[in-house]
Amino acid sequence: DVSQPLDTDFYRVFADVPAEDREAWRRARGFVDEIWPTINEAWEDAEYPFSRVRRMGELGLLNDGVEGPGLRTLSPLAAGLVTMEVSRGDGSLGTIIAIQGGLALRTIALHASQEQKERWLVPVERAEVITAFALTEPGHGSDSVALETTAVRDGDSWVINGTKKWIGHGLNGDLTIVWARVPEGEVRAFFVPQDTPGYSAELITGKVALRSVHQTRITFDDVRVPLDNVLPGANSFKDTSRVLYATRLGVAWSALGHAIACYEAALNYAQQRIQFGRPLAQSQMVQERLTQMLSDVTSMQLHCMHLATLDTRGELDPVMASMAKYTCTRKARAVASIARDMMGANGILLENHVIRHLVDMEAVHTYEGTESIQALLIGRRVTGESAFA
């Protein structure tokens, strides 16, 4: 019951969450309860959870705080709590919030024309239009600023050529927002319906993290879209970065959800598992490890809560979101690793709900800017020196 502070909320960080935000949190928890029995099976089978994504759309959970006409905007705190709660259940669905309700929805809200917003925002938020955000390329991940996909005007069309990799929702969806370079050298964004001739996508297989969300490699081979498929507000890579910065905070909340799930599982296990004639929980070393995990969880909660407050006040600096992502993904990886070890062999079984979070965290740690890239962004701020290249 989210009206009560969670057992994991040691400092009562969330005790005063306003009623409206608590309601969104409750909806997210209710959704996780619905899907809980089959999360592991869906992960193991690497099934894309279309019906669950639609359900999240219906419930208003597919918006990480994006504002726009007709949207059911969640406050920064509510959006964070929803991402945390969904990721506590299933990190693949947490990632889908980041793709559909963060990267794609926010690109439209920040950079689309009024007409484009009216056409796309609501259907994307409701998951009626499954949408991809295609930035990363096989040769450009951390340095996506150097992307090579091109868009050239030809008569009344833009013609797009290039390859993208790691793109969630690139296959079997409806719409891809693709970032491409125009002849003048700047990076711009384009709406490409996935059934456009020349658009082809293949599933990336053999993936051992976030198995229920599909990533793809997309080829654009003379893909033609009308001139008004360009997003007029996206005129340089700085505009891409505005989307990435804003969505990064959601990744910190997601890491918190993963860490809470692992802590809860480890605590429960330590109380049940008898070795040397007593529960593991009676061992000093086990208590110290639980303390270490809870200390990390508490620190993540404070980070996320404080940044939600700054965001609400309009005082969130992008580099703060980098610090939150850096801190929370590091801590969540550490918590997941301790939890897995504390459960012995049982820690590697999906049914015990830790190994899935542990491997999912490996992807969360990498996407939306790796730990090292966040460190370079913070380092540039504190030293005044860019160390990227």
Per CB under 6 A, residues contacting ligand FAD are 99, 133-136, 141-142, 166-168, 210, 215, 363, 366-370, 372-373, 388
**Spatial contact of 236 and 187, defined as CB atoms under 8 Å apart:** yes
Whichever of 11 and 388 has its CB closer to ligand FAD, that residue is: 388
Whichever of 125 and 264 has its CB closer to ligand FAD, that residue is: 125
Whichever of 103 and 297 has its CB closer to ligand FAD, that residue is: 103
Whichever of 63 and 136 has its CB closer to ligand FAD, that residue is: 136
Angle at 311 between CA 309 and CA 315, to 5 degrees: 100
**Spatial contact of 240 and 360, defined as CB atoms under 8 Å apart:** no
The Cβ of residue 126 has, within 10 Å, a number of other Cβ atoms equal to: 18
DSSP state of 202: E
| Residue 71 CA from chain centroid, whole number | 19
Instruction: State in angstroms the smallest separation of the CB of 78 from ligand FAD.
Output: 23
Pairing verdict, β 150-154 and 157-168: antiparallel
Whichever of 245 and 367 has its CB closer to ligand FAD, that residue is: 367
**Spatial contact of 19 and 2, defined as CB atoms under 8 Å apart:** no
Residue (of 237, 258, 234, 261) closest to 364 by Cα position? 258
Instruction: State in angstroms the smallest separation of the CB of 370 from ligand FAD.
Output: 3
Whichever of 166 and 263 has its CB closer to ligand FAD, that residue is: 166
Instruction: State in angstroms the smallest separation of the CB of 65 from ligand FAD.
Output: 18
Phi, psi of 81 (to 5 degrees): -65, -40
Q: List strand residue ranges (DSSP E) for the chain, in order.
A: 131-134, 150-154, 157-168, 175-181, 187-193, 199-203, 215-226, 274-275, 278-279
Instruction: State in angstroms the smallest separation of the CB of 210 from ligand FAD.
Output: 5
Instruction: State in angstroms the smallest separation of the CB of 95 from ligand FAD.
Output: 7
CA–CA gap between residue 91 and residue 39 (Å, rounded) = 10
Whichever of 187 and 297 has its CB closer to ligand FAD, that residue is: 187
β-bridge partners, 134: 178
Instruction: State in angstroms the smallest separation of the CB of 219 from ligand FAD.
Output: 15
Q: Which token pair is 339?
A: 């939890």
Whichever of 78 and 244 has its CB closer to ligand FAD, that residue is: 244
**Spatial contact of 216 and 369, defined as CB atoms under 8 Å apart:** no
Instruction: State in angstroms the smallest separation of the CB of 346 from ligand FAD.
Output: 26
Instruction: State in angstroms the smallest separation of the CB of 209 from ligand FAD.
Output: 6
What letter represents residue 284's amino acid? Q
